[in-house]
Structure 1
Amino acid sequence: DYSVRLIGASGNNVFFEKELDEIGAADSSDNIFAVSAYCPIHNLENADAAYEWQFNGINDWHTQKIDIKNGKAEFSPLNGQLNELEKQLSSKLKNQFIEYLNSLRLRNPDGDYLTLNKIGEGNFLDLTKKFLIKSAQTEIEKGNELNNPNFLDIRNGKVVSLKWKAYLRYITRMKKVPAFDDLGLNNPENDLFGDIKIKAKHFTEIGQKYSEKTAKKADPELVTAINPLNYLNNQSNSLIAKHWRIRHGAADRDTSFAVPIILATTLQNMNLDIDFFMPWAKPHSGDYDLIDLFDWIDSLVKEK
């Protein structure tokens, strides 16, 4: 669901007025006070690149096949290996992400610009690992044991460091290349950009260039319009929610960790109220900490 963070970032934006009028929406403000977002997949035009920055060099993928039988979903393991073209595209996309991340000029809490060098390392990677280390430390302090912590250096009950590649191999790659703009137009993200005549479209240059089918490319204006970061970086056109609670599981393989971290850091750099955490061992899921969520909502309402 891409709508939660988009709505929170694009309040009263004129881009949507025509479509809202066409469906008979009430002529009223759509300002949002606060946003709760679980596993926020967004920023689709850069999501493939972010995924390969994270998983480049890990060529085996592990997902699930879903079959519907008698109205019920049945899941079975589905595994594979990247082919040679996918490996090449993985490296291309990784390099794209490095350039993209450096162009954002995001700052860490110390005020330093977040960057990556040509091999994809730097203080942005360090920040990503800090979030994961904090997640593991929180789990330890709850009295819970960590499974297979060979990727963690734990001393006297404190998580000192995390081995990045070892951790990624532990949680495993889930998706082929590209992760979102599928070359065969088979992903839900391709359908997202479809219309009444064309079911699915590509939305990146690489997806279009290497497409396995004759395909149309999505309207760039639409691709831009559904990315909340574009509103956050152009604040004059939208009213943005002032309070954000974002949760992204530390074992979530559906999108790169970079995607929610960029969103959270952008909001933080705007001096908005941001509560961001990566719960340990949580996959792509939500609503697992409702008591904490309700407490957060209560605190905002009382302040208001």
Structure 2
Amino acid sequence: MTHQMNRRALIKGIAAAAVAVPVVGTAGAAPAFAASPAAASVASADSLAFDPDGYTEITTTISTGDGDKEVTYHFWSAITYVTDPVDETYQSLTVSVPVSIDGTAVDATDAPILVSNSIGGYLPSSVSTNTGVSSSRAQLAIAAGYVAVEPGARGRTLVDSSGDYYGTAPAAIVDLKAAIRYVRYNAGTIPGDTDKIVTAGTSAGGALSALLGASGGSSLYDDYLSELGAADADDVIYATGAWCPITDLENADGAYEWNWGTNTLSSGEEVDQDVSADLTALFETYQSGLGLTADDYGTITADNLDDYLLATYLEPSATSYLADLSDDDRTTYLSSNTFITWDGSAATFSWSDYLDHVGHRGKDAPAFDAFDLSAGENNEFGLDTTEARHFTDYSLANDTSGTGGSSLDSDIPGKLDMMNPMYFIGDGNDDRAKYWWIRTGTKDTDTALTIVGNLALSLENLGDDVNAALYWDAAHGADEDPDDFITWIGDVTGYTG
């Protein structure tokens, strides 16, 4: 850490010296500054040094909740964030820094930095061909005057010429941590406040965003990061945004059956009810073991979890949705959904009626550790030339692939820990993010509502600031309040521009 602090002080001194050398930029843009000879020598000697002048200037129009904004920004393309990458196509990031919004100059020196990934399904994600700011969240970020970083990462389907899978667990989280370390390593030269990094992601990307927030500063990943030549910096972040996170994988099958076990598949067929009952029982034991508490409920167990989710998330979600409708549209909706009782200001209904309203479950049983190893999560725990493996004792004991053994492979427990934010939250990691934005849809049957409920409540029990909510009638991947998230970043970081 001493080395890191000394290096940051050196870079800040170099950056200050560089300010005296203006460079004429594109008309209307904020002035850029050339690095001094001393800065150039540091860059040449350090392959992970951020090049402050390596940008392209771009002007674009971005639609926001406050209308269209013309944003001029500096864009750094495909920066490899480790010295010994396995695959630079995925292990690179882009940086976008606003310099002008609607003709007014912007100084993003102290702005929060949004690190927004585009990972889905634990699949590989690349920014190597991006020619400008890409994701909608990153666009909204720069339109608000923030810095946006978009990292790529390896994913579970990548196979090398020897047939080895090189993007399975924990590759994705290791890569994202390396990206965070790159940003923090370049404090003082990369624009933005590297102590105010906010992560964002959806689905598996949401799980990884939550994991970044929960696992900050953990030494569990050090050997992997060292092997890649990650920057000599920490990977602590300030705040996390997670949408419909596919996480807590070793307990996700049981959570899914507790939540959706009574619903049929879209074909109308029931899943195996014995399997569903077995997994539900496993979840009941897990839920009790969490020891989570909530006001008015005491300890949250499988027996009162439905009531807790109804009162805390589902009924408020329906209430907000109905309140925003016109009188005619509200009347029409309620006439088609008579299970809802509406008193003019609040919606109430039962858990069983809610399940009937959702209708069909999205996945068979088990939903994540499939008996035949066909689930994407089985591939996520592949190793070497083995494409997919079991990661729960229950599915291993019921294996139908013909490749199951008598016990889980010895590396599985450790990798499960490294892939699960609940592990670090349960351990009370002091270096975790302390601000959380968590969202999912009430009709998202890609996972269970308990995943979001337990994640949020476990953080609240630690005293963190948690902004969690559900989108009524929304499916997997929904993001219905993107501008609110951007505003929230400013609120929790204290940044006013």
Instruction: Check the 8 A contact 1:249/1:283 in 2, yes or no.
Output: yes
Q: Structure 1 pair 158/288, CA: closer, same or farther in 2 (3 Å)?
A: closer
Q: Return the match for 1:241 from 433, 436, 440.
A: 433
Partner of 1:90: 276
Partner of 2:299: 113
Q: 2-side partners of 1:82 and 1:201: how far apart? A: 26
Matched to 1:61, the amino acid is: L
TM-score relative to the length of structure 1: 0.86
Q: 1-side partners of 2:210 and 2:466: how far apart? A: 13
Q: Which runs of 5+ in 1 are unaligned?
A: 63-78
Q: Secondary structure at the match of 1:195?
A: coil
Identify which of structures 1 and 2 has the higher relative contact order when contacts are C-alpha pairs closer than 8 Å and 6+ apart: 1
Q: Return the match for 2:353 from 166, 171, 176.
A: 166
Partner of 1:36: 241
Q: Which runs of 5+ in 2 are unaligned?
A: 1-203
Q: Does 1:179 align with 2:179?
A: no
Instruction: Check the 8 A contact 2:259/2:448 in 1, yes or no.
Output: yes
Q: Does 1:270 align with 2:475?
A: no
Alignment of 1:1-304 (within 5 A): 1=204, 2-58=207-263, 60-62=264-266, 79=267, 81-82=269-270, 86-110=272-296, 112-116=298-302, 121-122=303-304, 124-130=305-311, 131-143=313-325, 145=330, 146=333, 148-159=336-347, 161-171=348-358, 172-216=360-404, 217-218=408-409, 219-236=412-429, 239-302=431-494
* Percent of pairs with identical residues: 30
Question: Which digits, 9 at most, give the CA deviation of each residue in 1:8-37, with x for residues without a partner?
Answer: 000121110001111221121100100000
Q: 1-side partners of 2:236 and 2:346: how far apart? A: 42
Q: 1-side partners of 2:403 and 2:228: how far apart? A: 28
Partner of 1:65: none
Partner of 1:73: none
Q: 2-side partners of 1:100 and 1:280: how far apart? A: 28
| CA deviation after TM superposition for structure 1 residue 155, in Å | 2.3
Instruction: Check the 8 A contact 1:151/1:164 in 2, yes or no.
Output: no
| CA deviation after TM superposition for structure 1 residue 142, in Å | 1.2
Matched to 1:133, the amino acid is: E
Matched to 2:252, the amino acid is: A
Q: 2-side partners of 1:80 and 1:149: how far apart? A: 21
Aligned-residue RMSD, C-alpha: 1.8
User: Which of the two has higher C-alpha Rg?
Assistant: 2
Instruction: Check the 8 A contact 2:316/2:346 in 1, yes or no.
Output: no
Q: 2-side partners of 1:167 and 1:190: how far apart? A: 30
Q: Secondary structure at the match of 2:338?
A: helix
Aligned residues: 278
